[in-house]
């Protein structure tokens, strides 16, 4: 039986534990270009239109995953129920993602509260963060950054695919202490909200 | 929408409202807290810290961070943390520190501004405003992140089974990464549980495994002298002895001696 | 989008780590009979005719597996990818190596997170660890130690060849600056492969 190239790609993606790069897929065939591999992937995705799976490109390559719509139906079958992450966890990983590399102390400074050891441990256990070096200050604190696995977990290809941060408005730095209410009025035009 | 100082004087923020919490009248209930008392505790616990609470106080009233009415907001803030301690919520030190910061800003706002060679003094609120803005930015980013599709919650990576018996995938090992992993574990331990951990000479650990190996192979008792390698000399005896003591301590083996100075025997604990 | 039942079954089989029984699949839909589930499976298998995957019934249920013909093509891909150890795996084996004999509970205590059964299973499968006794405490937990094979895999002659802690510190003050972004999951130059 002659095996169709796109179905070999499908089998390759399905048999791999990790996402596969275009180069990995190219190595399966002789004389195939990366553009051709991408066309085959598009063809497969078109075939998956009515199905509950799809091919997604993430940071470490291509992988097949279930579509969101089918998830709720499948949850009862999962041994591990999806766990809800705490707000503290989201804020911590968001800081590491947007401000990397960052130390734990810097995270605490911005959040205004201490970061529990459990949150950091948990993020390491998920392999969402890694130590990329040590800051040359007192105590040589570890500099934390996100991993490819973090991006993979959110179906992202690169850090810049994260939704952009909202801009921070500049504040007038001079003020008049005696006439606070006046100065508030004159500055009112700039006091619209940031959302 | 913003209150100036005159308005503040005619608009007392406290003592107008009373709520019943756990059967107790709470007089310090902040004026804008329209929350059923039973939900109050849960609500107050939901703040991620002082910045989060301050942001709530500002955003709830539709005020701008840039022009935070410090007198009003700091009064409310203090009421909230009083309420929190009244409800016996664990009040992190950061909350109290913020109360002090707010009080300091308040007093600086009342003083005439200082003009130095470098120009006019910075708005006393500036630093707090920057922190609030920076925190709000990350808080919103975290909320957005939470809405992104997430593996395990919104989708799963799928796999087909493959019969790979023929292929033994090579394992990449690195002594450097092994050591790094160990070092990192120890660093974490040091950071979180100081003084609980100390390093032991490796040779003792290794000897413990060797002794257990020997005991398993012999499936009976082994004399202490059998465990000693003559070539290792005195140091070897010490290491073996320490390993034996450690194994007794970890309750993995039995040790017995019929009479003083007679042969010491070791055996596995029976399960 | 209305999800077709057979494709829900496909997604269920692909997202499960273990084969699924007919009853598991029946639980996904209301009022479906086992005969109907089997018909849907046959329909899927008919669709897979030209593809490189198939649904196979094994003793513990149904699973989707790659076809034999394609496995030969995929071998280079599997060989190409040396198995990388996860951070959790490195930490666990490091603790067993340096602190042997040690129980799983003690590892968990030091790491501050639970050690998944998979990691321990995996280390046994690699024949890197063995049980050398049982601790005489509640539950008689197994005392774990490393094997000769572990030493071989890491090019060591004996456990005491592992660098002592002080040396590790020195190693990494230079190691960190050279390989700033490298971490447990990325390849490092000193890595070698074992079969």
Give the three-state DSSP class for C131. Answer: strand
Give percent of chain B above pLDDT 90. 14
Give the minimum alpha-carbon distance from B39 to chain A in angstroms, rounded to a whole number: 19
Taking the Cβ of residue C81 and every Cβ of chain A, the question of whether any pair is shorter than 8 Å is answered with yes
What 3 state SS string does B199-259 have?
Answer: CCCHHHHHHHHHHHHHHHHHCCCEEHHHHCCHHHHHHHHHHHHHHHHHHHHCCCEEEEECC
Give percent of chain C above pLDDT 70. 81
Taking the Cβ of residue C84 and every Cβ of chain B, the question of whether any pair is shorter than 8 Å is answered with yes
Whole-number Å distance between alpha carbons of A166 and A176: 29
Among the listed residues A146, A45, A94, B118, the one whose alpha carbon sits nearest the alpha carbon of residue C185: A146
How high is the pLDDT of residue B200? 52
Give the three-state DSSP class for A81. Answer: coil
How high is the pLDDT of residue C189? 37
Of the CA atoms within 13 Å of residue B160, those in its CB half-sphere come to 28
Burial of residue C13 (CB within 10 Å: 0-12, 13-18, 19+) is: buried
Looking at chain B, which residue has its C-alpha nearest residue C191?
A: B174
List CB contacts of B37: < 8 A, sequence separation 6 or more. Answer: B19, B20, B21, B22, B26
Find out whether B173 and C90 touch, Cβ atoms under 8 Å.
Answer: no
Does C70 sit within 8 Å of A149, measured CB to CB? no
For residue C70, the tally of other CB atoms under 10 A from its CB is 23
Tokens 């198939």 identify what position?
A: C54
Residue of B250 and A58 predicted with greater confidence: A58
Whole-number Å distance between alpha carbons of A68 and B154: 5
* pTM (predicted TM-score): 0.64
The residue-averaged pLDDT of B147-175 equals: 75
Selected residue of C3, C5, C10, C11 to mutate for chain A interface (largest A Cβ count, 10 A): C11
Most confident of A170-174, B46-50, B246-250: B46-50
Task: Give the model's confidence band at B247: pLDDT under 50 very low, under 70 low, under 90 confident, else very high.
Answer: confident
How high is the pLDDT of residue A193? 41
- C83 vs B172, B180, B216: nearest CB: B172
The residue-averaged pLDDT of A132-142 equals: 88
- A168 vs B112, B120, B134: nearest CB: B134
Per-chain mean pLDDT for chain A: 85
| Cis before C129? omega within 30 | no
Give the minimum alpha-carbon distance from B160 to chain C in angstroms, rounded to a whole number: 5
Looking at chain C, which residue has its C-alpha nearest residue A20?
A: C77
The backbone torsions φ and ψ at residue B103, rounded to the nearest 5 degrees and listed phi first, read: -65, -40
- B205 vs C56, C65, C159: nearest CB: C159
Task: Give the model's confidence band at C168: pLDDT under 50 very low, under 70 low, under 90 confident, else very high.
Answer: low
Find out whether C71 and A14 touch, Cβ atoms under 8 Å.
Answer: no
Find out whether C152 and C194 touch, Cβ atoms under 8 Å.
Answer: yes
Residue A93 pLDDT > 90:
yes
Selected residue of B173, B189, B192, B200 to mutate for chain C interface (largest C Cβ count, 10 A): B173
Q: What is the pLDDT of residues B19-78, one digit of tens each?
A: 444 444 444 555 555 556 667 778 888 888 899 999 999 988 888 888 888 888 899 999
Structure tokens at B215: 């005991």
Question: How far is residue B47 from each of residues A28, A36, A118, B256, measured CA to CA in Å?
Answer: 53, 52, 18, 60
Does B212 sit within 8 Å of C133, measured CB to CB? yes
Q: What is the ipTM of this complex?
A: 0.67
Per-chain mean pLDDT for chain C: 81
Give the minimum alpha-carbon distance from C102 to chain B in angstroms, rounded to a whole number: 9
Does C193 sit within 8 Å of B180, measured CB to CB? no
Largest Cα span, chain A: 89
Whole-number Å distance between alpha carbons of B200 and B184: 17
Does A111 sit within 8 Å of B138, measured CB to CB? yes
Q: What is the pLDDT of residues B170-229, one digit of tens each?
A: 566 777 777 777 777 777 666 554 444 444 555 788 888 888 888 888 777 888 878 877
Per-chain mean pLDDT for chain B: 75
Residue of C171 and C151 predicted with greater confidence: C151
DSSP C39-73: HHHHHHHHHGGGSSEEEEEETTEEEEEE-HHHHHH
Residue of B262 and B55 predicted with greater confidence: B55
Residue A163 pLDDT > 50:
yes
Identify the weakest region by mean pLDDT among A43-52, B63-72, C47-56, C78-87: C78-87
């Amino acid at each position: 039986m002659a095996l169709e190239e796109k179905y070999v790609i499908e089998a390759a993606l399905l048999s791999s534990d990790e996402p596969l790069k275009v180069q990995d897929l190219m190595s399966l065939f002789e004389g195939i270009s990366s553009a051709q591999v991408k066309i085959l992937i598009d063809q497969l995705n078109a075939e998956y239109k009515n199905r509950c799976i799809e091919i997604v490109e993430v940071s470490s390559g291509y992988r097949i995953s279930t579509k969101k719509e089918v998830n709720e139906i499948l949850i009862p079958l999962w041994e591990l129920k999806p766990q809800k992450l705490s707000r503290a966890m989201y804020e911590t990983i968001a800081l590491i993602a947007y401000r990397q590399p960052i130390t734990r102390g810097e995270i605490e400074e911005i959040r205004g509260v201490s970061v529990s050891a459990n949150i950091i441990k948990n993020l390491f256990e998920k392999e969402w963060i890694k130590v990329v070096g040590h800051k040359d200050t007192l105590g040589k604190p570890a500099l934390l950054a996100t991993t490819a696995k973090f991006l993979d977990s959110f179906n992202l290809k690169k850090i810049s695919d994260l939704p952009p941060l909202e801009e921070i408005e500049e504040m007038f730095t001079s003020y008049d202490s005696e006439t606070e209410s006046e100065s508030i009025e004159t500055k009112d035009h700039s006091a619209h909200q940031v959302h | 929408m913003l209150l100036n100082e005159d308005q503040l004087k005619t608009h007392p923020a406290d003592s107008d409202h009373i709520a019943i919490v756990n059967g107790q009248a709470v007089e310090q209930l902040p004026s804008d807290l329209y929350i059923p008392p039973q939900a109050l505790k849960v609500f107050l616990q939901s703040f991620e810290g002082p910045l989060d609470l301050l942001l709530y106080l500002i955003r709830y009233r539709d005020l701008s961070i840039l022009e935070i009415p410090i007198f009003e907001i700091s009064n409310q803030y203090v009421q909230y943390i009083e309420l929190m301690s009244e409800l016996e919520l664990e009040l992190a030190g950061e909350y109290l520190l913020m109360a002090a910061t707010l009080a300091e800003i308040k007093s600086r706002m009342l003083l005439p501004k200082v003009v130095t060679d470098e120009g006019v003094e910075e708005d006393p609120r500036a630093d707090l405003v920057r922190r609030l803005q920076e925190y709000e930015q990350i808080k919103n980013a975290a909320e957005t992140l939470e809405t992104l599709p997430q593996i395990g919650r919104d989708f799963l990576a799928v796999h087909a089974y493959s019969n790979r018996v023929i292929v033994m995938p090579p394992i990449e090992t690195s002594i450097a990464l092994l050591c790094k992993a160990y070092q990192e574990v120890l660093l974490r331990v040091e950071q979180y549980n100081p003084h609980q951990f100390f390093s032991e000479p490796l040779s003792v650990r290794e000897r413990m495994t060797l002794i257990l190996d020997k005991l398993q192979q012999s499936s009976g008792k082994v004399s202490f002298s059998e465990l000693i390698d003559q070539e290792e000399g005195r140091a070897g005896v010490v290491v073996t002895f320490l390993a034996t003591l450690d194994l007794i301590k970890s309750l993995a083996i039995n040790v017995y001696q019929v009479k003083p100075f007679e042969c010491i025997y070791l055996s596995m604990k029976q399960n």
